[in-house]
Structure 1
Amino acid sequence: MSVTREVITEQLNRLEREEEIRILYACESGSRAWGFPSQDSDYDVRFVYIRPADWYLSIHDRRDVIERPISDKLDICGWDLRKTLNLYRKSNPPLLEWLQSPIRYAESGGTAQELRAISPLAFSPKSCMYHYLSMARGNFRMYLQGERVRIKKYFYVLRPVLACEWIQRHGVMPPMEFDVLAEALIPRDTELWRVIQELLARKKAGDELDYEPQLKTINAFLEERLSALEAASAAQPAAGGKLDDRLDAMFREALREAWL
């Protein structure tokens, strides 16, 4: 199946009918939203949905995730709004990324926009730095050791490292796009910038980036920054004000907007 925006919209509309839900927000996550897709990269569609009010009035815990692997190229996954708001109040980094994705497929009602507007109140520098550091350390340890490495994995370490750098400097959620992070945080007149840009051009052109000799310039940078950021993350502040009442009100308003 050829994946286009029309195909994605059709699949989201079908989910609304089959699951009896309203999709409040849908976006692209992963390498396409980060700005370094290969020609054969998957489409990772993520969405937030709400069910009718009676669904929530139950003594039973019910599944609050919808997952549909439509094809080898298209993966669609959504979270119920109540789950979403509970994760939001904990400064969940993937959710905060979804809300600022540069590729949006659907948005209805005011929920997503309000969540963006109050995100500084929910954002926790400490928990988000821990999240990105864990991602970077895991990929660095698994894929980028030895003389020959999984070279495309450099982006899956560089991006979270730069996200940590952004949080440390600015104290806010980092931009989703790799290019924005790199241009702001890596000096252009350096060997590191040149090596990264050459690798990025190859990836976007569809070159097969499998096992190749280690890029020592990038490895040296990553080793130094991972060590420094480890110490910096512990000093970051936690989230700010309490949002429970505001999120409760948002949930009720979303129910009214979607179904009344």
Structure 2
Amino acid sequence: MKNLILDKLEEIEDEFHVKVLFAVESGSRAWGYSSNDSDYDVRFIYCPSPQWYLSIDPQGVGGKKDVIEVPINNDLDMNGWEITKALRLFRKSNPTIFEWLKSEIVYYQVPTFFEQLNALELSVFNTKVCLYHYFNIARTNYRKCSQNSKLYFYVLRSLFVCHWIVKNQTFPPIHFEQLLQILDINNELKVEINTLLNLKRNSNILGFHGDFKAINEFIEHELIRLQEFLNSHTVSCIDHTEQLNHLFRETLKTVWGNSI
């Protein structure tokens, strides 16, 4: 599959006249609980040619789309963000970008871009933005878990991420079991979570309607605790626009040279 993904990335570069800066796996395969029928969710950041930027229309307006979306084919779901869009979202501490940076399944990267973006992570990271994002995912999906047991993973993983952020003030690893290992939880809860994992990995979870008493108690306790923390939590923000402008310009030169 990796060779197919790399071939598709080359096709995207040729078709859209862009350079891919990095491409990673996202979703259940990156999170460590994929099943046999899970799609490959490839996400990437790309850089159009200098000519694309030298026009009277700004990025994202009219014909200057700042995303590339490839129709799902052969269980392969691919889409990417244009570099300035990605950097603006990174500046806002967008959790999606942070998850891409933490993915352990990397298909392609321009090392200088990847390393410089990673170097800015700690200073750009905003705990409150990310906590609200994952708290809302957990709260919203928990209401629907009785109809779809698969949603427990979105809830639990989001709460695990929040636990890490509160404890360490950094963005965590994205693998489900890595996050699980840092939690001090009782054996009953571990057993129920492992039952869920086995069901998910064997594609049996959609038809399962078990009574996850320990999981439900954990979720409800964590939602209350996080809401209280968020109500009292404040964070100061630093503007990193100049560093990100520099990264954008240097990347443009690195991948395109003087081809204007």
TM-score by length of 1: 0.92
Could you tell me how far apart the structure 2 residues matched to 1:90 and 1:199 are?
A: 34
Provide closer, same or farther for how the CA distance between residues 211 and 197 of structure 1 changes in structure 2, counting only shifts above 3 A.
closer
**Is the 2:196–2:205 contact (alpha carbons within 8 Å) kept by the matching residues of 1?**
no
Gaps of 5+ in 1: none
**Residues 152-200 of structure 1 deviation map (CA, whole Å, 9 limit, x = unaligned):** 211110000111111111111021001011010143x521011101221
**Is the 1:126–1:236 contact (alpha carbons within 8 Å) kept by the matching residues of 2?**
yes
What is the 5 A alignment of 1:61-210?
61=58, 62-71=64-73, 73-141=75-143, 143-145=144-146, 149-187=147-185, 189-210=186-207
Equivalent position of 1:57 in the other structure: 54
Q: State the one-letter code of the partner of 1:172.
A: T
Q: State the one-letter code of the partner of 1:60.
A: D
Report sequence identity in percent: 40
Could you tell me how far apart the structure 1 residues matched to 2:178 and 2:167 are?
A: 15
Provide closer, same or farther for how the CA distance between residues 163 and 20 of structure 1 changes in structure 2, counting only shifts above 3 A.
same
**Is the 1:127–1:238 contact (alpha carbons within 8 Å) kept by the matching residues of 2?**
no
- Which SS does the other structure have where 1:176 is aligned? coil
Gaps of 5+ in 2: 59-63
Could you tell me how far apart the structure 2 residues matched to 1:169 and 1:126 are?
A: 13
Equivalent position of 1:255 in the other structure: 252
- Which SS does the other structure have where 2:209 is aligned? strand
Provide closer, same or farther for how the CA distance between residues 116 and 178 of structure 1 changes in structure 2, counting only shifts above 3 A.
same
Report how many residues are paired.
Answer: 252
**Is the 2:164–2:170 contact (alpha carbons within 8 Å) kept by the matching residues of 1?**
yes
- Which SS does the other structure have where 1:210 is aligned? coil
TM-score by length of 2: 0.92
Question: Per-residue deviation at 1:234?
Answer: 3.1
**Residues 200-255 of structure 1 deviation map (CA, whole Å, 9 limit, x = unaligned):** 12222333433413311111111111111111123334354321111111000001
**Is the 2:44–2:80 contact (alpha carbons within 8 Å) kept by the matching residues of 1?**
yes
> Root-mean-square deviation (CA), in Å?
1.4
Could you tell me how far apart the structure 2 residues matched to 1:204 and 1:228 are?
A: 30
**Is the 2:24–2:105 contact (alpha carbons within 8 Å) kept by the matching residues of 1?**
yes
